Amino acid sequence: MGDTLDMPPRDDAPLATSKDSAAVDVAGDALVEPRGDTLVGRAVTINRRRAELFAYWRDLTQLASFMENVERIDLLSAKQSHWVVKAPGGKTVEWTATITEERDGELIAWASDPGADVPNSGRVEFRDAGARGTVVTATILYDPPAGTIGKLIAKMFQREPAIQARRDLRRFKQLMETGEIAVGARNTRLQDEGKN
């Protein structure tokens, strides 16, 4: 932890669950690059080997297969990628992200480059969970467009990153465990793609 930050000694709960608003600054100092004021933490346990999950995730272009709001991910270099993401009202937002830290099989951290429509940073960690498989934990810091109002509007249209992160991890789990992503009779994703 950065010793310049004013936060009392903490418990062992993840920073993203802190009730102290200073947690965002601590996260931006110690955990991820400082790219916003909204901190989200999500974890999912996947009944697959760590190496397999990491390999799938590290091929960034594949992330669009389960990230519902991601329209397209273009690789610019080994570390840089360009993201086109759906936003409320039929619009899209874009940013370029750079991988800031990587440990094979364990961790990928990223941060958006200057000029991002939605500044964001984060880390995805992969940890062995014995017979249960692998725990995948995502910690994301972002700057909601148009602040709190923008966040509310995004939430209404279910384009809120905190909601999406939870759903995206669930879809990742489904894809990895079952080989497919569960769809009901009337699925918004399929409707959007004109398939339903």
Partner 1 sequence: MRALAWHGKHDVRVDTVDDPEILNPRDAIIKVTATAICGSDLHLYDGYIPTMQSGDILGHEFMGEVVETGPKSTLKKGQRVVVPFTIACGSCYHCGKHQYSACDNGLPADNQDIAQELYGQPMSGLFGYSHMTGGYSGGQAEYVRIPFSDVGPLVIPDGIEDEKVLFLSDILPTGWMAAENAQIEPGDTVAVWGCGPVGLFAVQSAFLMGAERVIAIDHFPHRLELAKRFGAETINFEESATYEALMLMTGGIGPDAVIDAVGLEAHGFFVDNVLDQIKKSTFLGTDRPHSIRQAIHACRKGGRVSMPAVYGGFVDKFPLGAFMEKGLTLKTGQTHVQHYMPALLNAILEGKIDTTFLISHTLGLEDAPKGYKMFHDNQNEVTKVVLKPGLALAAE
Which residues make up the interface to partner 1 (CB under 8 A)?
A: 45, 47, 68, 132-133, 158, 163, 166-168, 170-171, 173-174, 177-190, 195-196
Q: In the complex with partner 1, which residue's Cβ is closer, 18 or 69? A: 69
Burial 149-183 (b: 16+ CB within 10 A, else e): ebbebbeeeebbbbebbbebbebbbbbbeeeebee
How far apart CA 165 and CA 43 sit, in angstroms, is 10
- 166: helix, coil or strand? helix
Tell the smallest beta-carbon distance from residue 185 to partner 1 (Å): 4
Count of CA atoms in the C-beta half-sphere (13 A) of 96: 9
Tell the smallest beta-carbon distance from residue 194 to partner 1 (Å): 13
Q: In the complex with partner 1, which residue's Cβ is closer, 30 or 183? A: 183
Tell the smallest beta-carbon distance from residue 164 to partner 1 (Å): 10
Q: In the complex with partner 1, which residue's Cβ is closer, 109 or 138? A: 138
Are the beta carbons of 76 and 96 closer than 8 angstroms?
A: yes
How far apart CA 176 and CA 95 sit, in angstroms, is 27
Tell the smallest beta-carbon distance from residue 131 to partner 1 (Å): 8
Q: In the complex with partner 1, which residue's Cβ is closer, 80 or 174? A: 174
Q: Tell me how far the alpha carbon of residue 111 is from its chain's centroid.
A: 11
- What angle is formed at CA 129 by the lines to CA 128 and CA 134, rounded to 5 degrees? 65
Q: In the complex with partner 1, which residue's Cβ is closer, 114 or 184? A: 184
Tell the smallest beta-carbon distance from residue 155 to partner 1 (Å): 12
